Chains A and B, each alone.
Chain A
């Protein structure tokens, strides 16, 4: 699409007081974007039936955000509270009962951020939640091609994102055109190689 110019000084969700070395500016912006995505995404009925149910944001793998969610912790999205859950990365082979329980919890999430630590088990993680209307977000290169829905990319030190529309369709997560319009790249392809991962 068109190259966007992002002015450096216009970064609305950067809490100045909490800007420390542990939490980078990048992840602060990404955390804010993660919240904003929820405004432009519609989940199917079964996922958002009860309005009292919170929107669950899952973070799988080693959490890069640190305290980046602090400023937005109490913010409501679509009138719902936002709950952040953190999960350990999936094990390579074993599929224990414990894991099954955790998998269920992962599948309950509305948004699942896959950390870079899970790059190797990316395919598996995506496949784990692909039937469960989960908006998968990551900042791993080639995430959309791997069947992820939204992927953060950096351009001129600005945070931007790519969207895999097909993946979104498969996950029955509706992404609004406004969001689509803002995506740096919109991918419309099936995962290239399902068996490989």
Chain B
């Protein structure tokens, strides 16, 4: 039993719904009690879908339990097949139905469904979660539809370069995009365009927008692009094992990753990247293409971006987006990554590896309070996370950009806003730098609030009702008394949640050690600190406290501050 106040992932059958709702011609019969239809609103509200997800629920009640719920399942399946005439049927159960063991899949297998392919889903609700459910459903559906096509063992693997002999364009599948994924709709368009520019055709995109008949065409591709490993990894592996289709595993988010993706896919398909890249007017070769295709490199090099140098950024999300964000932040924007984590346990290994490269220990947890605690301790200047990290960052007064699911309706923009490819890099530059700038403006207002223009009654062009202007550059320490326990700054900032996070078995960050000298700030030390420009103040405070702790200094005064400054500027 596990206490959950809020959860990053829903149950596995919601993952199955994401597959069904992403596709055309697929219907999902779900053995589930009243109330489970709540999941429909994730699609109709967050994604603003114009139709209900293709799911029929049995809606069994307590009074049905004594009777024949199996009959209810069969009736519901028959009605759904007749009403929706699907091209493929998924049959499964939610957590409660799993307990009553009607085995709807077996019941469906015994029915005459008029030849519609039926896939029985067994998604253990008490041990697995949403992304696993999505991956398993996609895999079972693909395998169910394609198993008759699997060549016998020992069949030679087809060459990914056979298109050259067959006198056609090379073609690949884009696998993994779903509804309620992060910007999948726009990523597909971006990556399709990118591949087309390099002479590569897209064979099938799935699950988003695909029909069951499209899945039957998956083996015709020369390679599979595993765009969203959370959903597509098991399908890609199975297609590789069964049909010998190689997998492109680089996820093209960010400039470096997009380049690496293009190198990987062109090498695999036997294309000449340098030659194919020159058709947009720039000189052949990758760097010129990048410069022509994305503004991120130049924007990041331009002098205005100097202030981005070393900005402390805390990253948490699904594994794919978190790892990509860490690379972009550290290599392409010159940020300092001060925290990296993910709720995706299935993909934890790659997050740990990416964190290690940055000298960090990855935070692998599904406890949002542990994430908030780690965030507070890291004292970031920018948070990149899910919609929950946006809430946490708001509480801590830190700017935030959403980079991953779970998402809110505002994270599904009307405009074209991919994360992948060249345009995705542009979108990322804007959407990460903008909140930093906004934060900077707020701080400037806070900094100048003592100027005469800002005295009460003249604080805003709008007069009363303008937002209050408290300096928020110093989120962890703000509003505290002068004395601060060095050992546990975040505890003071958020007393209610500290015990939870510290006792959580899922958090991998160690709570602060014991036996540390407690240092206090003297009044003149604090006064001196506040003369320091807000945008470096939290860093100076942290450095000074570290300096004091290392030397056993109990009272930090102005001299300590300047000693520390000299020490760290060496």
Does chain A bind chain B? no
